[in-house]
Chains A and B, each alone.
Chain A
Amino acid sequence: MTRTLSRRRFMGTAAATGAVALSAPSILRAANGPIKVGTYGGFFEESFKQFIFPEFTAATGIEVNSMAVPTGETWLVQIKNAARAKTAPADVSLMAGTPRNEGAQQKLFQTLDESKLPNLSNLNDRFQDRYDDGGLYGVGALSWYITLCTNSDEIPEAPTSWAALWDEQYKDQIGVLGLASNSFLLEVTAATHFGGTDILSTKDGIQQCFDKIAEMVPNVRLWYKDEGAFQQALQDGEIPMGQYYHDVAGLAAAEGFPVVSTFPKEGGVLDSGYWIVPQYVEPLDEVHAFIDFMSTPETQALLARNVGTAPVVNAELTDLTEEELAAVGSPKDPIIPRYDIYQEHADWISDTWNRVIAG
């Protein structure tokens, strides 16, 4: 249970690792020394150190210095501060969602050389982030799903649609993530009630989704910001249904808890981490070699088996069995978060969200 807890646990880990990273003095690099790779702290970093980095070093001879980076915006701020001092806190690191968009807007990431990334072709366009001029700055690293999870003791037949969140029979029985930008409930609402996330392209459309979310508020018992706070309640059946991470739910089920993760017919929410290279990073050849290595079907299969993440390359390219694929994802079309709206309407969405969930 403790394995994945810290991955997205903002309150503790993000702040703590942030502080550690800030206080660590930058070390002068010897030529051809190890590259510094940042992944989310806790279970993620441990798994990377144990299963992924040794393979990379064996394949390329390049050593890796692993470091834990916070999820969310804290890490972007550290990159930005380092850039002001003309240095970089890591050579290559994971970054997800809105911070990546913001970093790109502020041109904090280097444009990558695609000729050094032959395996980039394994990734579809969604996993290739580009500047307006077409320059590549983000490469998909790994994905995870937010699904509809239920306690099978309390709810023997798991609902098959996100619409269950609005079902009056679940009054005061649901747990969902507490922020607009990490629950992606706007996207879920759009996909469930408005035929897709296109409606979120206008402020009017977002408002319509907020009005719909207001209707489910009485069903929500817990708006959680910490995975641990909901996991316990879900396992005990205290809060028998809610949004949760597919991978952690799978681990809980494997440990014998009555937890079921369902991909609703509208799709699970697919969130992904991308590799980015901050400005002022020097060992560019090594960094490109690393990103290319991570984009191979073999490495993606290794990640799926050992870290529990969904591959960013086409599943048919990997040697993952159907069972292994089912453990990390679903063939259904996922709901893709609209990171752009959290940047464009940041204040308005956060204020409206707070108002709506406070009832």
Chain B
Amino acid sequence: MQQGSSFTRSLGLIPSSVMIGIFFFVPFVLILMTSVSVPSETGDYQLGFSMEHFERFATWFYIERALFSAGLCALIALLSLLIAYPFTYMLTQFGPRSQTLWLIYILAQLSLSEVLIAFSWQILLSRTGGIANILVMVGLAEKSFAMTPSAGAVLAALVYLAVPFSVLLLYPALSRLDKSLIEASRTLGASPLRTFFTVVMPVTRPAIISSGVTIFVLTLGAIIVPQVLGKPEHWTLSVLITDQAIFNFNMPFASALAVVLLALSASVIAVVTKFSGGK
């Protein structure tokens, strides 16, 4: 009887496993194979084994790019959590109707593409049409100035991109939070602030961590924002991958960089999961 039910359960898993096999595993294997391919006589590439593309990566320029990308995305994950967490906590205190309206509003932000966001921020931060003019109007600046391209512009636009995701990832945990825990803390004399830091945050720690990691991985793949709003020194590894794949048509090197990026995000996920108690 029990054996039968576990068999049915495994049977139910087959379609999803096959899907994952085809749509995730096969492209990954292809990328892996391309990243170690060898050049053919005609300048094309062919099946083989060579580490030359990884050797090309192993120069300070590319390693520095990889570290910069990881650092930038970690900072974005941190900033978007700092914005999204208190907001989501407040949101769960609202009535059900306004909660729904807020969630719809935030979901709608997700429909904006990275391209739209990048170009909107470009205008917003420009000298002629940008917020610098408002600073002039209120007397904070003497003359309008451009705020892009700069590291700050890249950071601001990517945080903007990431905040709705953080809210949606944090919302389930915070909305299911047992209210009696807060009440207990309050009746025992803790201030709302203390309750927030010593009760609410520790209880929702897994959600904070998974949200942070998701944002990290998500922004690691951003291409348009760093390119449009940043200078070349702010271009991430993903921008360089696109350059190699689309403009230089060096698929093997693009694949090698992609494998590195994948390894980078996998190791970050692994480390975070290990040190956060393995959930």
Identify the A interface with B (CB < 8 A).
10-11, 14-15, 72-74, 76-77, 80, 99, 102, 105-107, 178-179, 181-182, 221-223, 225-226, 229, 233, 236-238, 343, 346-347, 350-351, 354-355, 357-359
Contact = CB atoms under 8 A, between A and B. Distances in A.
B42 A179 contact: no
A10 B247 contact: yes
B128 A236 contact: yes
Q: Most chain-B CB neighbours within 10 Å: which of A76, A181, A236?
A: A236
A229 B232 contact: no
A155 to B, nearest CB: 15
A179 B248 CA distance: 9
A73 B232 contact: no
Bin chain B's interface residue count. 20 to 34
Contacts of B43: 102, 105-106, 343
Contact of B231 (A72, A77, A223, A350): A223
Contacts of A221: 149
Contact of B122 (A11, A77, A229): A229
Q: Which 3 A-B pairs have the closest CB atoms?
A: A73-B249, A106-B42, A357-B232
Contacts of A237: 128
Contacts of B224: 11
B222 interface: no
A346 B248 contact: yes
A72 B247 CA distance: 7
Contact of A236 (B59, B126, B149, B250): B126
B235 interface: yes
Contacts of A14: 246
B256 to A, nearest CB: 12
B165 interface: no
Contacts of A76: 249
Contacts of A106: 42-44
12 contacts: A14-B246, A73-B247, A73-B249, A99-B249, A105-B43, A106-B42, A236-B129, A354-B61, A354-B243, A357-B232, A358-B232, A359-B231
Contact of B249 (A15, A77, A107): A77
A99 B227 CA distance: 24
Contact of A238 (B42, B127, B244, B246): B127
A351 B56 contact: yes
A350 B128 contact: no
Given A10-B247, A74-B246, 7 more contacts: A105-B42, A106-B44, A223-B231, A225-B247, A350-B250, A354-B232, A358-B235
A73 B146 CA distance: 35
Nearest to B44: A106
A179 B247 contact: yes
Contact of B232 (A10, A11, A15, A223): A223
